[in-house]
Structure 1
């Protein structure tokens, strides 16, 4: 008897692309572009991505006013740069920085590069090995073909003076030198999978549920029905000089305009000459989609949240909005801060490395630590919500004793405190 292990297909395949001198990011060279589209169509995935990016960036640098420092002539500040690379790291687990040098071999400017625009150079091509190709349309959304002449190749980051001299000489001088790329990649000689890659199919599923719900609304929740009618003769409005065949008849146009949320109260009148020409509508039973989609949506949402490793209390805010859930949300913030601590350390180390070679000392203290999101934001949000509810209660027209009872039993105030807030005896 022979045994074997079933082969699990790799999520992405990296292959040399000799035409462009790069390594393809999956077979179609558009893995990050596809993932961006899927995340953009999935509300839960996009929310998880935003939450993860927010926690990685924290509330900025620990060193006061460090975020206001400019890093290039285009007005990019350290705070904006931190937010940009934290956003890429939250989804792609990597990021890119374009580094330019001056003639003193010091970094003169730093620019953010979208991670999805970066491709590693073909290691078998002497001209592009140890380089990175930058192009803004690998997914071919704007143009049908990729033009190699528009791909910008940057050298791999290395601030060593001798390395820079060799690169400048190879480029033909400082005026032709394009700089280097600092490419943060958690993988070794390979492209990284996105955060939550294991559940990207659920992104697509949630997007499909959204489309289904939209279709139900635009068709006025019309039950599935079959229309039986005699073979029609081509109507006069079906013929045209353009020679279209099987153009919709007037009946089909009327039925189409009859559907939809805005047409729910319309009446359609159908004329027929005899009983044999009378259209017949027959509904057919289908599975209860409402219940099916409701349970599917819940399970899909839960898997996406788990895939991003985000505590559910930070995503399902409507399910954790009561006063009793303040401690749970605070604990969720602490947990997520711990989860993203390594990411913040990596960004801090990157900043220290890159700007340690900057032409001017932006941070004399040498402190590049990033402050995590404080857990007391949960208390603040909770207090605002509770305060608004209490104010609404006090301004309402219900009797004073009902207000006092609500303050005591629902909000935990003492009897004397509640009476003082309401002004007991005013409406007795």
Structure 2
């Protein structure tokens, strides 16, 4: 048991003295690593995109494009919602920068890339008062790290922060930090438990690609009797002419076999017994060494694990070859959509709550409350035509 526990990989969050932040894993690169694993896995990337869509539904109606949440960046509500949803789907956490005005209203807000943010030191109440923002955490310089106050709408807190900053014109605002793992310093990525599966899917693709590009698969082997006889002096005219004839012969073979559309032609010379043509030349196609059954089993297995990590995403919503799913006016597909809409309720409610919380404290939309439009009508599921 002790050996097994040692072998199990665990994400750690040690204190980094050099950067004065809690590192997100021992190399402080956990968010980047998880994001790369998702992007390298076709199933994870597709699943993440679908889950984001289910969090925002069909959007927020006419407010999608009419509401600008950040005028300096011309960020529309729907674009902001998509960015927040993507962070919640992939990293299960999000950082949002908020600027206040002198009336203690939110002037604008925008998402900060999750990979850029780390938490500063906690006080005796385990409260982290600062968010450290840096574009590169591998070997960060203190001068590249920007410290911003954690979100707190209390007017007295904002006044104290503004005074400490030297006035409103120098105030950096606050960062709202949302974590779906409240018991941890940083949330675990959605693919944390299937990270190896994501990597296996990517490596399987790399392996097959290397076999096709650099292996012998698709090549044609041509074996002939020696094309140059023994006893020719090195550098002699006879040897030069013989080598020229050999090159012409081998090129003719490649041209006749259409080498430009195959893996290539390998020419080998060796002695044969017999006088028949079949005894003088042998042409053999080299078959693939890719075990399709093994790869199919492995890829199916890892795909299923990854889909479970994305709130049990039905495989049929990504891709299916089963025409039966489209029978009965697509009833099976509609049922999958309805089921996954329910599976993503927690994340969708969190996203909607974040947006409404910001809008209600904003200077422009304090009375606005949005709700995502459903992707599928319940009546269509219960009463399919």
Q: Same fold by TM-score, threshold 0.5 exceeded?
A: yes
Q: TM-score, normalised by structure 1?
A: 0.68
Which one has the bigger strand percentage? 2
Structure 2 partner of 1:217: 212
Q: Name the CA distance, whole Å, in 1 between partners of 2:113 and 2:321.
A: 33
Pick aligned residue for 1:163 from 157, 164, 168? 157
Deviates more, 1:13-22 or 1:129-138: 129-138
Q: Deviations over 1:166-224 (max 9, x none)?
A: 1112222222211100111122351111113211100000001101121122135169x
Structure 1 partner of 2:335: 331
Q: Name the CA distance, whole Å, in 2 between partners of 1:83 and 1:171.
A: 32
Q: Deviations over 1:62-119 (max 9, x none)?
A: 6x43552111222111111111101111111121210011222221111111122211
CA distance 1:66–1:301, change in 2 (3 Å): closer
Structure 1 partner of 2:315: 312
Q: Which residues in structure 2 correspond to 1:229-378 (within 5 Å)?
A: 264=262, 266-269=264-267, 289-308=291-310, 309-319=312-322, 322-324=326-328, 326-360=330-364, 362=365, 364=367, 366-374=368-376
Quote how far apart the aligned CAs of 1:43 are: 0.5
Quote how far apart the aligned CAs of 1:288 are: 6.4
Q: Is the 8 A contact 1:15 1:24 kept in 2?
A: yes
Structure 2 partner of 1:58: 57
Quote how far apart the aligned CAs of 1:342 are: 1.8
Q: Name the CA distance, whole Å, in 1 between partners of 2:178 and 2:146.
A: 18
Q: Is the 8 A contact 2:217 2:288 kept in 1?
A: no
- Segments of structure 1 that go 5 or more residues without pairing to the other structure are 226-260, 273-284, 384-428
Q: Is the 8 A contact 2:65 2:76 kept in 1?
A: yes
Structure 2 partner of 1:147: 141
Structure 1 partner of 2:283: none
Quote how far apart the aligned CAs of 1:158 are: 0.6
CA distance 1:110–1:314, change in 2 (3 Å): same
Q: Name the CA distance, whole Å, in 2 between partners of 1:50 and 1:332.
A: 16
CA distance 1:289–1:66, change in 2 (3 Å): closer
Q: Is the 8 A contact 1:66 1:363 kept in 2?
A: no
Q: Name the CA distance, whole Å, in 2 between partners of 1:67 and 1:311.
A: 31
Structure 1 partner of 2:280: none
Q: Is the 8 A contact 1:68 1:79 kept in 2?
A: no
